[in-house]
Structure 1
Amino acid sequence: MKVAFVTDTSCGVSPAEMKKKDIICIPLQIVFVDQDKTLLDFVDTSNAEIYKLIREEQRMTTSIPPLGLIEKIFDDIKKQGYDTVFCIPINAGLSSAYNAYRLAAENIGLKFIHVDIYTTACMQKYCIELAHKMYNEGVAMEDIIAKIQDIGDTGLTLVMPGDLDHLKRGGRLTPLAATLAGLLKIKPILKIDKSCLGKIDVFDKVRTYNKAVDRMVQELINRKVDDNYMIYVANSDSLEQAEYVRDRLQEQFPNHEIEICDLVSVISVHTGCECVGIQAFKK
């Protein structure tokens, strides 16, 4: 069995960078709602450029990669002698990309192995790199699948959008709800994990930013996050807020090296800038 490892740019890394690690990374699409225009994530644009467009109030959404590109990539995989694809894409609760990849592989006779980790971003990157490393070390495929699935089953992603006007413009929050939330200083906290099958769900609504951060930190404590977990703080053009969240986390988890990273564009396009997220998952 010769296995190709495949992910997509919701992992937060460009196809060029992942290619250096012998991992195929398929670019998702950024779609402009009011224009006949699309961009390939990390190919035609960058996180910084997407944040700039969000601040300019450009209306955007996201889409799976072009079907022609998907078919070409999987055709190239087969031509290179691979018979199996191990795929950790953006999770099925957020996108239908998984189905497109599966069909493209199966249509040309490639065995398709998929693990749904119920989230995206840093955890997705970690899992595909770990699976690839384990495979190269000779670990049995069933053991690789079990390890990655355990990470997915126990991981947690919490997201706190900061720009309620962006949510309102995108139709994800009614004008009345946005106004009331602003007046009452209500901070919505969203979660993505196995309990909601990888779909974005409301975790809590807390008054004031500091209390919302405390609520997120407390949830990691409640989940018994320990030294066997990795913790990341993601942000969409809101480094100062991310540093505050990291410092609060560091107080409770002093043994962790908590990294700050960019929030992937497939999330920030929907949440807007000034958004901070936390991911915690097993090593």
Structure 2
Amino acid sequence: MKIAILIDSSCGIKNTKDYKDLYLIPLMITKEDGQQIADDENLSTDEFYKLNDSQLLKTSQSIPGDVMTKWDELLKDYDQVVCLLLSKGLSGQFNTFRMFSQEDKYKDKIHVIDNNGVSIVIKRQLELVQKLIQQGKNGQEIRDIIETHYNDIHGYIIPKSLVQLVRGGRISKAAAGLAKILKITPILKYNGEIDKQGKTRTFKKAVEEALKLLKAMYPENKKIDISHSRTDEETINLVKKLVTDAGYEIGLLDDLANTIICHTGRETFAFMPFQIWGEELWK
């Protein structure tokens, strides 16, 4: 059986040529003037940050017609398509395309996975899906495994800068001003959705607290995946040291997807445990 993998740009991968049987559909980024830009390889990282620094960007779902056209194209060469899309807790993307996948022409061929994923989470899921395909699993089996093992995931997001949260109206200017004076850093939890976890004094303490929370929740896990938006090398080195000092090996270290950066801005770090699904799936 020949299986294709379809991701959206919330994964953070723009160039799919480095991956076997991997294809991309872009999410859309909306500028303040209403113009929409596809979040694909034509939008460079520098161009994205220039836009994001100058105005409040919004994200929206992939264009349904484009997605179904891509499905039709892929089904000419593949028996099934496995879709790893942005978490249903962050967008209507999953619900929209799970619904379309139930149409007769796509049923049992297109598998839209309820993966609770975004950014580095989907990158890890992509690795796992590729291994499962090598093991001879079909689309339904892959969907069942991913949905089971990512049903209850927890990670943490720490924005060092509050600029984007203020611009987006998530924190008032007054609260942000006080937080800056007191060196308060928020900790956000990620479990398919993004919500408040707590706050600490200083960015360093926030990272340490997030790592303690992960250790309490996943005591057997020895590896942490880290994704981040643009920040200075000193901060990156500090985070790497804090992770290794906490007894963890650093797994993936990669850029956050534009989807998240639009909401959290620069100097944001996300921490996810690696082996929450069990060693046996990776053999």
TM-score (norm 1): 0.86
Secondary structure in structure 2 of the residue aligned to 1:153: coil
5+ residue gaps, structure 1, are none
1:86 is aligned, of 76, 82, 90, to 82
Q: 1: CA distance between counterparts of 2:41 and 2:116?
A: 25
Q: Is the 8 A contact 1:236 1:275 kept in 2?
A: yes
Letter paired with 1:103: M
Aligned to 1:264: 257
Letter paired with 1:72: T
Shift of 1:211: 1.1
Shift of 1:141: 5.4
Equivalent residue runs for 1:1-283 within 5 Å: 3-17=3-17, 20-32=19-31, 34-55=32-53, 57-80=54-77, 82=79, 84-107=80-103, 109-111=105-107, 112-139=110-137, 144-193=142-191, 198-226=192-220, 230-238=223-231, 239-254=233-248, 256-282=249-275
Q: 1: CA distance between counterparts of 2:144 and 2:274?
A: 15
Shift of 1:233: 1.5
- State the identity as a percent: 30
Q: 2: CA distance between counterparts of 1:163 and 1:107?
A: 45
Q: 1: CA distance between counterparts of 2:220 and 2:240?
A: 16
Q: Is the 8 A contact 1:5 1:86 kept in 2?
A: yes
Distance 1:189 1:124, change over 3 A: same
Distance 1:223 1:236, change over 3 A: same
Note the alpha carbon deviations across 1:172-220, whole angstroms, 9 max, x for none: 2122222222222211111111xxxx11111111111121111011112
Letter paired with 2:214: L
Q: 2: CA distance between counterparts of 1:172 and 1:117?
A: 26
Q: Is the 8 A contact 2:75 2:81 kept in 1?
A: no
Q: Please report the RMSD computed on the Cα atoms of aligned residues, expressed in angstroms.
A: 2.4
Q: 2: CA distance between counterparts of 1:188 and 1:267?
A: 16
Q: Is the 8 A contact 2:155 2:214 kept in 1?
A: no
Secondary structure in structure 1 of the residue aligned to 2:240: helix
Q: Is the 8 A contact 1:85 1:105 kept in 2?
A: no
Q: 2: CA distance between counterparts of 1:127 and 1:2?
A: 19
Runs of at least 4 residues off by over 4 Å: 140-143
Shift of 1:232: 1.6
Q: Is the 8 A contact 1:6 1:24 kept in 2?
A: yes
Q: 2: CA distance between counterparts of 1:223 and 1:206?
A: 19
Secondary structure in structure 1 of the residue aligned to 2:5: strand
Distance 1:146 1:65, change over 3 A: closer
Q: 2: CA distance between counterparts of 1:272 and 1:26?
A: 23
Secondary structure in structure 1 of the residue aligned to 2:74: helix
Secondary structure in structure 2 of the residue aligned to 1:71: helix
TM-score (norm 2): 0.86
Shift of 1:257: 3.8
